[in-house]
Structure 1
């Protein structure tokens, strides 16, 4: 991709304070950005620490639901959206970005001195580094998500033309906590501090089973949160009998269970 095209893509979405501005074919469009809800944040933090606990014990993690939601993008003229599981993380607030960049990139530099698959030797360092970031949720910018682009496939092509995305998380049993988050997407290049942070965090756990090992990431994304909606499934007919089977609630329907 030539420099002019890259410059256009990386400036089509710009953020000023609490507003994301998209400069597209229909002119300038503005979107308010907002923080993710406390319930979602709490779930993310708890889930990440459970994953780190499992890695610490060298337990097998077949799928990391908190990290691999479904991302929906679309070409403006397409009849159907494109859906793909993507690794999604978070980035520090701007005032803390330099501190955490030094921390995480320093850990990656130390890891790189060993063979790529020396995961046992580096496990303590990798986990301690990740925990240091997520132990301080007040240092995280909960208005944005961080993703790395690997394939430059349909998701990338869609975001070049139409920089909007919806992200759907669904947690594990028994709660199946679920959130849809709608975002305005900023494309960023490897020299950007948020790209560097996302890349370094990925590198900490590159060889864990929930990752497909990759070496090339031509771009990264900042997904700026515009809106969100909880979609956790609920029982349509509230209540249960003493034998724990479904009680149809005398025909009463819980309206909140029907709005997903």
Structure 2
């Protein structure tokens, strides 16, 4: 199982360098760098953060885990931005996509929340067409032929449909390995029913904070971020990892469940979080 680490993009410390974080993550052997996405929140815009990370590194993959795709109302421009990032990073981009559940993001973004599913489908159709046939005047062509790999988050029938039509796999939420494991039979059955060859790629996500004040940092950030989500906020907090032993056990549990890649998202702290996490998982 590959292990990725999130960029310090959520309620970011302006003194903490994303370039230094990305370089250190690559040096320590992490497989990927990840981001989250919100509009009405204090977080870095994902494409911008990943572009900065791409420029500072040469090997580590870049993953949006996840990107709220329907907020990108200009579908041709979205496809162009993705192709540009994929091209400039040398084909290191993987897109995790979902519609999201926060209406305030859509209100501020001027996008109809109730139509986000239809907008998502339209965006995918346009983007895939543009990546596969860049000769229509809208370039550049992505480095990855046909566009970067797409993973889809969510537990709905629509999410599974998008995965089987356009994607290479599925992204699980950060509420713990039990929730991840419980939904895998449904993901695999949808893949099989659609006649897709092989197996879907499975990406898990988890929150971590290590070192002094880890428990307080992860509590503050998770409860603040998921304040709207009721019971899910508490499940996500319970699933947060705050000791090296917890990290090691959770990594082993995700690997045993069949996860292909686990993306561990930081919650506060400085550059030392990269080394603390790498040490905890033996990198």
Structure holding more strand per residue: 1
Q: Which has the higher helix share?
A: 2
TM-score range, shorter chain: under 0.3
- TM-score w.r.t. the length of structure 2 is 0.23
Larger of the two Rg values belongs to structure: 1
